[in-house]
Amino acid sequence: MAQDLSLADARRLIPAPVLARIPGCESGQLPNAVTVLAGGTVNTSLRVQTRAGSYVVRLHDPAGRFLGADHAREAQLQAAAAAAGLAPAVVYADPAQGFMITQFVAGRPWEAADFSRPELLWRLGERLRALHTLKAPVVARFDLGAILRHHAAELVRALPAEEPLLLALLRAAEAALALCMQGGRGAAIVHNDLHHSNLIQARELCLIDWEYAAVADPIFDLACVLAYYPVTQSHAQSLRDAAGLATAGSAQELAAATSLFVLLSFLWYRRRRLTSAVEAADLATEQALLRRLGV
């Protein structure tokens, strides 16, 4: 749940160089109100209201980069999406200092149950179609295979006994990547993290939190949805239709891409457990992902 902060607590939490970049606070003024936003498992996100407007300040945890986030790429791709009305405007981003400021978007955050509603999935597919047709800026390369191999290598280094399992999962992933490449789809801007907490229903559906965004195969966004929410599998054809991937993305390619994101999610949870304490629900999620991989 969101939590309102006292201004004294807000001043302690928000570093002065960050505060100075928030519109309405440039000359040292304190914000009118600060709220810690719910959602997210790594970074700290705050809604900051000032005389100039309402903004989201995200303070990046170094663990994000450890888990694959690229904040420089994020700022470029979110700005491109924002120009098309698909994402909040980027007010200021400083990857080196570890923070980002965006416009606050008022609306109804999606819930997990929304992924079982065909009309909402169709709306999401249409927004993804618009995103995938945008001209992509030149950004750091995204190589899903390399990311999976890196996560696996780090896990093997820490947990040598898991090497046989991880190598078997990587062999299956290489076959899935090869199948996806047969589709011949051009690279596009992809959000890559379509968790329900990253979708806000305002006047139009808005995509937030772009830290894993990339320029890659557009089928990855659909695969991400199916990996996170297996209930959407029964609506996969409709989602492909809405996203404009009904002919370009075969059912087999989407299934292969989905397996890649299930594996990526499993490795993400497994590595995060090495660096921080996790809740029982996270452990249960990790085991459920492993079962979906056939283990």
| Residues of the domain holding 208 | 108-292
Judge if 167 and 288 occupy the same domain: yes
Single out the residue in 51, 68, 103 at which a domain terminates: 103
Per-residue pLDDT at 67: 64
3-state secondary structure 132-144: HCCCCCCCCCCCH
* 3-class DSSP state of 100: strand
Q: What is the mean pLDDT of the chain?
A: 91
**148-195: pLDDT as tens digits:** 999 999 999 999 999 999 999 999 999 999 999 988 899 999 999 999
Judge if 82 and 226 occupy the same domain: no
Judge if 16 and 73 occupy the same domain: yes
Judge if 37 and 162 occupy the same domain: no
Judge if 145 and 247 occupy the same domain: yes
Neighbour-count burial of 8, counting CB atoms closer than 10 A to its CB (0-12 exposed, 13-18 middle, 19+ buried): exposed
The mean per-residue pLDDT over the stretch 116-145 comes to 96
Which residue do the tokens 């297996």 mark?
230
Instruction: Name 46's bridge partners.
Output: 36, 57
Judge if 233 and 248 occupy the same domain: yes
Has this prediction a pTM greater than 0.85?
yes
**46-98: pLDDT as tens digits:** 999 999 999 999 998 876 666 678 999 999 999 999 999 999 999 999 999 99
Per-residue pLDDT at 39: 65
Per-residue pLDDT at 259: 97
Per-residue pLDDT at 2: 62
Single out the residue in 103, 119, 153 at which a domain terminates: 103
Domains of the chain: total? 2
Confidence of residue 271 (pLDDT cuts 50, 70, 90): confident
Q: What percent of the chain has pLDDT over 90?
A: 77
Per-residue pLDDT at 60: 87
Judge if 115 and 189 occupy the same domain: yes
The closest of 199, 215, 216 to 117, measured between CA atoms, is 199
Single out the residue in 84, 103, 122 at which a domain terminates: 103
Say which range, 16-30, 123-137, 239-253, has the weakest mean pLDDT.
239-253
The crossing angle, in degrees rounded to 10, of helices 251-275 and 280-292 is 150
Q: What percent of the chain has pLDDT over 70?
A: 96
Can you give the CATH number for the domain in which 148 is found?
3.90.1200.10
